[in-house]
Structure 1
């Protein structure tokens, strides 16, 4: 039985990583913070870059530990046929929990590394943020002096074609799709859920809040997903 997971910010909030669009989300509380994730603003405005680096330094994504739900998916994947873990998150916690990196499709990239816009050099984000803590408000590429940024997909950028193609292929061919911690409102990723349903997959939503596809799903589990998801996977494995 081929299974695909589709995960969003809700699976990582228990790790101390805030979401962006929820009631207490980063962009909800501070709409200007969205500029830090917009390519033209990030590249063209030093003040926006400084704010982005302060946010990274405060968030410490690379220091966070996987949640019970991340670990449940990784353990389940050792026993079941998990074709892909498609994630909208940039925190790398699925891999940290033990999920096969080759099967984790990070649609929006990964915040644990940086890259240079000019020479394409890259390195660990923790090293760049250490420079911020040391007094560099807008650290530049140590090789060429160019602007550096997280290896994430920003607004105004296209998604990586090979990643999104692999995600659609997985959604079309799976027998079960489990959406975890996602409001299923951001496209094109949100469209993977109805696509899987259209192709005949059993569809399950595990999320604290209602989603636009609750009535389409075969099963909806509300409440604390850190409790609900492990229980669901235990049932499926049994």
Structure 2
């Protein structure tokens, strides 16, 4: 089925990265539950909340600092290198698609990227190593060197608006592909999870590779419940 597609859209979730050692949100006793992201409005309003958000951020970073792209990431990268998949839409924030060899324009990040920080005022990009050094030396949440604004991990927090340009690109890809390949997503987090359904409604084939059932299994053209790294390279 995939080999017959003219234009393939990729869509990935946490499951493609758990095989790299990155914890997901829904596993029992997930470290994300012990270090829950601070809601965006609270982060903005309270300096103590910003301090706690950065503490939790660095705890989580330390848990998977050695993560490397999985066989699933490499399979997606190979499909993009072949020219049949222009980009992958991802719910992940770990940067492992880029680490697999993809350029930034080939990765549509719906929930941002946790490998760097950005000023909420002037949008200046900040290296996390410098941010962490500043935080650990002073104990204070970082501020922007350029404008003095609030600096935040470049992820999309709960309550924060979805990024307009990635959303536009994801919609365009979903509407132009003739097959969308969902890998490692539970397809329950919206609005991101709406793109596979949109592609299907527009006439594209829907292929889902995930360890657990998803809400879209019933309308998919092919569903594979298995370990991603074991089946995706052969499927592609």
Structure 1's 64 and 81: CA in aligned 2 closer, same or farther, altered over 3 A? Answer: same
| TM superposition shift of 1:53 | 1.4
Equivalent in the alignment of 2:44? 43
Deviates more, 1:112-121 or 1:87-96: 112-121
The 5 A counterparts of 1:183-198 are 183-198=186-201
Aligned-pair CA distance for 1:139: 2.7
Q: Which residue of 1 aligns with 2:24?
A: 19
> Residues 47 and 135 (structure 1 numbering): CA distance in 2 closer, same or farther, change over 3 Å?
same
Q: How does 1:1-238 map to 2 (within 5 A)?
A: 1-27=6-32, 29-30=33-34, 33-34=36-37, 36=38, 38-60=39-61, 64-134=67-137, 136-233=139-236
Shift of 1:45: 2.3
Higher mean Cα deviation, 137-146 or 119-128? 137-146
Aligned partner of residue 217 in structure 2, secondary structure: coil
- For these two proteins, the number of residue pairs brought into alignment is 229
Where in structure 2 are there 5+ consecutive unaligned residues? Answer: 1-5
1:119 Cα deviation from its structure 2 partner: 4.0
- Tell me how far 1:84 sits from its aligned partner: 2.1
Q: Distance in 1 between matches of 2:210 and 2:140?
A: 37
**How well do the aligned residues superpose, as a CA RMSD in angstroms?**
2.1
- Structure 2 length normalisation: TM-score? 0.87
Contact 1:128 1:139 in 2 (8 A): yes
Between 1:81-90 and 1:156-165, the stretch displaced more is: 156-165
